[in-house]
């Protein structure tokens, strides 16, 4: 018999996709709400700074000369409109157009950097919460620091250009992170359904055996009272498809050689555990042996799967 593990291909279905889409929209709404709150705060700060500037100019120019400007400030409902009022104040105060333009660019660059820092912090928090390491977030943080230094050096034009590029990159990182969150959620749900089913089949989960590797695969080890071992590993295969491995461990990290009877027993066990995956809402393919060369079969040897409606799962770490 083969020395390789049994495996079953699993694919997430329409119901799960719909739920994950809702979760993605919820994250987007939360992020947009945070952005709106930051925009409100930026507007309030712009109004405060403009009022201070208005007071300074009025001391030199007189109240009558600023009547229209004061009314414009009261009606300004965006940061851009407040900035326009400040530009008018700068002009009335005798500053050159170039100096006023530079000040406007500095304010715009400062506002954009504040927004990008908050977006970056939100993405880092999402990645930390789901324990998904993204090197791109570290690089994005370093890029933000570089752009901050450009603004501090008095280069608002360069800052706005670099900040725009970083914003596009953060959009890409957000999409990558959302996809990773959805895939790790699927793997954890599948493994959780198997963990829930193992005690009824005579297995107990080994304490502290849960493992989550950097390649995205997750697994646990279990054992019958007779000492019979079993390892279950869920890994990515391709977009919207996963692979559940049922392994007999020889105690030193390798798989054991199974006779026909043991092979049949493992097949039966795997099918019973696949049923728990199906009840969770995934549609698991039939169990298939890897070849003796240890190479997995091509996708045409597996069955696709669909998520069934009305399913749920819980995750428990041993």
Q: Which residues pair with 221 in a beta bridge?
A: 231
Q: What is the per-residue pLDDT for 252?
A: 47
CA distance 138 to 109: 22
Confidence of residue 8 (pLDDT cuts 50, 70, 90): low
Judged against a pLDDT cut of 50, whether residue 292 lies above it is answered with no
Alpha-carbon separation of residue 3 from 181, 182, 266 (angstroms)? 34, 33, 12
* Mean pLDDT, all residues of the chain: 77
315: confidence class by pLDDT, cuts 50, 70, 90: very low
**The pLDDT value given to residue 181:** 85
Which pLDDT score, from 0 to 100, does residue 225 have?
Answer: 81
Cα torsion through 165, 170, 175, 176, rounded to 10: 100
Mean pLDDT of 101-106: 84
Confidence at residue 5, expressed as pLDDT on a 0 to 100 scale? 54
**Which pLDDT score, from 0 to 100, does residue 79 have?**
84
Domain spans of the chain?
6-14+184-301, 21-181
Each residue of 266-280: pLDDT tens digit?
Answer: 777 877 787 877 777
CATH code for the domain defined by 6-14+184-301: 3.30.310.80
Q: Which spans in the chain are helix H? A: 14-61, 67-75, 79-92, 97-129, 135-152, 156-197, 260-280
Tokens of 149: 């230094």
Of 58-67, 77-86, 113-122, 126-135, the range with the highest mean pLDDT is 113-122
Is there a contact between 277 and 16 (Cβ–Cβ < 8 Å)? no
pLDDT in tens, 145-202: 999 999 999 999 999 999 999 999 999 999 988 888 888 888 888 888 888 888 888 8
Lowest-confidence range among 21-30, 193-202, 213-222, 264-273? Answer: 264-273
Give the per-residue pLDDT at 256: 44
Each residue's pLDDT tens digit, 228-247: 888 888 887 776 678 888 88
d(CA 169, CA 159): 15
- The larger pLDDT score, comparing residue 238 to residue 80, is at 80
Report the C-alpha gap between 66 and 58 in whole angstroms: 7
Average pLDDT rounded to a whole number, residues 21-39: 87
Q: Which of 205, 196, 193, 166 is nearest to 282 (CA)?
A: 193
pLDDT higher at 68 or 112: 112
Residues in a beta bridge with 9: 243
């Amino acid at each position: 018999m083969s020395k390789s593990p049994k495996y079953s291909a699993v694919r997430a279905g329409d119901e799960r996709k719909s739920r994950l889409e809702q979760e993605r929209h919820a994250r987007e709404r939360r992020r947009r709400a945070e952005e709106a709150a930051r925009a409100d705060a930026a507007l309030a700060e712009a109004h405060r700074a403009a009022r201070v500037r208005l007071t300074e100019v009025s001391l030199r120019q007189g109240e009558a000369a600023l009547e229209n400007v004061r009314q414009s400030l009261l009606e300004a409902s965006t940061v851009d409109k407040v900035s326009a009022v400040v530009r008018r104040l700068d002009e009335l105060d005798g500053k050159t157009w170039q100096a006023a333009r530079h000040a406007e660019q500095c304010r715009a660059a400062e506002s954009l950097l504040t927004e990008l820092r908050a977006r970056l912090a939100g993405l880092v928090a999402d990645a930390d919460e789901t324990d998904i390491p993204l090197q791109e977030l570290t690089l994005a943080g370093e890029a933000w620091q570089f752009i901050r230094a450009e603004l501090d050096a008095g280069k608002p034009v360069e800052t706005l250009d670099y900040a725009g590029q970083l914003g596009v990159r953060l959009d890409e990182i957000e999409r990558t992170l959302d996809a990773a969150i959805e895939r790790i959620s699927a793997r954890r749900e599948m493994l959780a359904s198997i963990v829930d089913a193992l005690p009824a089949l005579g297995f107990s989960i080994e304490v502290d055996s849960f493992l989550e590797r950097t390649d995205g695969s997750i697994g646990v080890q279990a054992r019958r009272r007779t000492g019979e071992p079993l390892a279950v590993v869920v890994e990515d295969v391709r977009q919207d498809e996963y692979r559940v491995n049922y392994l007999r461990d020889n105690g030193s990290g390798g798989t054991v050689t199974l006779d026909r009877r043991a092979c049949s027993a493992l097949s039966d066990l795997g099918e019973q555990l696949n049923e728990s995956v199906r009840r969770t809402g995934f549609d698991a393919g039939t169990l298939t042996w890897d070849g003796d060369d240890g190479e997995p079969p091509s996708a045409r040897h597996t069955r696709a799967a669909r998520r069934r409606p009305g399913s749920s799962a819980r995750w428990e770490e041993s």
